[in-house]
Amino acid sequence: MIDITRPLSVTTAPWPGDTPLQIDWTLHLSRGDNVSLSGITFSTHLGTHVDAPAHYMPDGHTMHGFALPAFVGPARVIDAVGCESVTAQVLEEGNAQNSPRVLVRTLAEVIPEKFVSDYPPLAPDGAEALVGSGVRLYGTDAPSIDPMDSADMTAHRILGAAGLPILENLDLSRAPAGEYDLIALPMKLVEAEAASVRAVLLPAGSLALKS
């Protein structure tokens, strides 16, 4: 099993201006309380998470609109480190068209405490190619699939219109390119536009699922 989830802590770097993780201790054993009890505050986009269309489309559904099977099953990891963007050609060369779930590594290293702003985004033609090949889920180790300064969120909208969940902020540094089985179940935050995910990869065929 390869854990491809980024750790969540008070040092995890959020998107600039977004809400970092804060832990407030309501009770604590060190203060003489009988148990330790904490409350947490953080952005739903901090660390590894899935975007719902409500994040980027006014009429988009929230997390309740996703069916769980999209997050479990065969997946392919593609290495795109060094590419300026994830184009249709990059995806084709990585054999993305033959997998129902595609995860793309774009970063040479992952440092949870450091926000990376110059990540390779998903190109519009790449997004169209994913939809055309029938992919059910797309994931990246970048903080977004669109450029940081994007105003129209083109790649998000293309995938969202086709009903694809978008996984962001993965850690694929220990996952060589190839075929796997993915488990990436999001928290059941019904009204939210995104949700944290614990994502792992298993050897291909471990789950005995076809799609």
Query: For residue 175, how many other CB atoms are within 10 A of its CB?
Result: 20
* Cβ burial 182-202 (10 Å sphere, 16+ → b, else e): bbbebeeeeebbbbbbebbbe
**Which residues 6+ apart lie within 8 Å of 67 measured at CB?**
none
Query: For residue 39, how many other CB atoms are within 10 A of its CB?
Result: 9
Rounded to 5 degrees, φ, ψ at 190 are -60, -50
Alpha helices for 17-144 (secondary structure H): 88-93, 124-132
Instruction: Point out the catalytic residue in the list 45, 55, 61, 156.
Output: 55
Bridge partners for 27 per DSSP: 37
Alpha-carbon gap, residue 193 to 114, rounded angstroms = 24
What burial class does residue 104 get, using C-beta atoms within 10 Å of its C-beta: 0-12 exposed, 13-18 middle, 19+ buried?
buried
The pair of structure tokens assigned to 136 is 């059910």
Catalytic-residue membership of 55:
yes
> Which positions are annotated as active-site residues?
55
